[in-house]
Copies of this chain bind each other. A is one copy, B any other.
Amino acid sequence: MLFEKIKSPGLAHNSYLIGDDGKAAVIDPRRDVEVYLDKSSAEGFTIDYVLETHRNEDYLIGSKEIARKTGAEIWRADDYLDYEYGQPMEEGEEIEIGRLLLEGLHTPGHTPGSFSYVLYGYEGEPWMVFTGDVLFAGDVGRVDFLGEEKLEETAGDLYDSIYDKILPLGDEVILCPAHGAGSVCASAIADREWTTIGIEKNLNPHLQYESREEFIEEVGQMLEYPPYFNRMEEWNLTGAPFLSEKKRPEALSPDEFADIQDEGAVVIDTRTEVSFAGAHIPGSLSIWKDNVPSFAGWFVDTDSPILLVSDEGYPEEEIKHLYRTGFDNIKGYLSGGMISWHMQARSSETIETIRVKELCEIMKGPKDCRILDVRSEDEVEEEGEIEDAINIHITQLPDHYEEIPENVKVYVFCGSGLRAMTAASLLKREGFENIGVTLGGLTGWRSSTCPRGETRSSKERGLEIADSLWLG
């Protein structure tokens, strides 16, 4: 038997490879499919089936590329959409994987045509359930894709899917969702690497309500919708262009790099926030390597030509992340990094940085500066707000540039300093010049001896108003 959970960090995406007696299936493969082909080949399996739980919005699915390499049958969900590949899954459809059996369960809510798959073991009893974006560890799928006016209906569908189809499988059944902690497909997935239906019944906050109505009320919320989701929705119906046919992003000399930037390419600098502060190419956007999957989709158009600056010889991880979310127009990367740039006597810029203790001292005196806090509303609510700060979540910043003062110094602030540098680079690109970045962010603040107010734990969330952190 073959069973592997394959995780894609950044996207917090889980896919699953299941095999028995030489036959294998993949559930919700990501776009770069070598991992499935390599793992199945190494164990002597051929992939015969690809099963999708729904039309995904947050990453590109690799079903067609697997089918092309292996001849696998694709079973897809959400048949109401105009798919250009695969055959539609149906309620009760059974797929044999050797002595194992996968059965389709129609579980609408996250999308109208979402499917979950029950895996029956050798003895014929439910062993695992692959719930896609219906039920996660500590959370449930978002239900806002059809718009605010449909929230009651979609949240109700999700409730029925969970309570009528998933939970009755039994407390002992292992739950295999399509996402782990950090995904944009739900608001607060728990850091619980393995879970069961019984554990979720006990611990999942959304399974503790007293009625279907209360579930609908709490779960039926509009969440943020990154612009790149549009590209995902389109390509996940047609099938994304095959990665195996793509040209490799080029190693570019500083001159070549500068020429492509001059023609309008977006420069994404994936080095740490302090490297970016020290010296960066004018006009470039700071998105730390591990944050590329979370933020490129907010600040870069999916069709834009892209250039990369990194500390790696070949920025492989960044390129993978971009491809997984449909940024296919990667022109290349700066060969030799910033060292080669400067050795060609090219210009670069810096961004002022400040440590939390220094900011604390400054704020004690006459305040001729402002703090721009780019943490999310949830973070501010849970971890405490900064007195007198301008609060704009980083993803909303491009719609709120007019709220940023230009006549005083603005210190950008986040949880650690990484997002603050992204925000600062956006502001600089917009022409703001009097910008500094707070290194360490709230975590640093808490570790320092600066006086601060009480913060409330996430347990108390929703029960009382957050106290302010105070300065001086």
Judge whether B192 and A172 touch: CB under 8 Å.
no
Answer whether residue A201 sits at the interface, using C-beta atoms and an 8 A cutoff.
yes
Please tell me if A408 contacts chain B, counting CB pairs below 8 Å: no
Check A172/B202 contact, CB under 8 A, given A192-B127, A196-B196: yes
- Within A180-214, the residues touching B (CB, 8 Å) are 190-199, 201-203
Are B125 and A194 within 8 A (Cβ)? no
Given contacts A123-B203, A127-B199, contact A1 B171 (CB under 8 A): no
Q: How far is the CB of A444 from chain B (nearest CB, A)?
A: 17
B191 touches A125 (CB 8 A): no
Nearest residue, chain B, Cβ from A20: B191
Complex Cα–Cα for A203 and B121 (A): 10
Number of interface residues of A (CB under 8 A): 26
Interface residues of A (CB under 8 A from B): 1, 3, 121-123, 125, 127-128, 170-174, 190-199, 201-203
* CB of A203, distance to nearest CB on chain B (Å): 5
- Cβ-neighbour of A125 out of B174, B190, B203 (below 8 A): B203
Chain B residues, CB < 8 A from A197: 172
A170 to chain B, nearest CB (A): 6
How distant is the Cα of A198 from the Cα of B125 in the complex, in angstroms?
11
Q: Is the CB of B193 within 8 A of A172?
A: no
Residues from chain B with a CB closer than 8 A to the CB of A174 are 174, 194-196, 199
Residues of B within 8 A of A3 (CB): 193-194
A99 to B, closest residue via Cβ: B191
Q: How far is the CB of A183 from chain B (nearest CB, A)?
A: 16
Q: How far is B119's CA from A195's CA once the two chains are assembled, in angstroms?
A: 13
**Chain B contacts of A201 at CB under 8 A?**
172
Chain B hits for A123, CB < 8 A? 202-203
Chain B's closest residue to A170 (CB) is: B198
16 cross-chain CB contacts under 8 A: A1-B191, A1-B192, A1-B193, A3-B193, A122-B190, A123-B203, A127-B199, A170-B198, A171-B171, A172-B198, A172-B201, A174-B194, A174-B195, A174-B196, A194-B194, A196-B198
Which 3 A-B pairs rank lowest in CB-CB distance, beginning with the nearest?
A: A172-B198, A171-B171, A171-B172
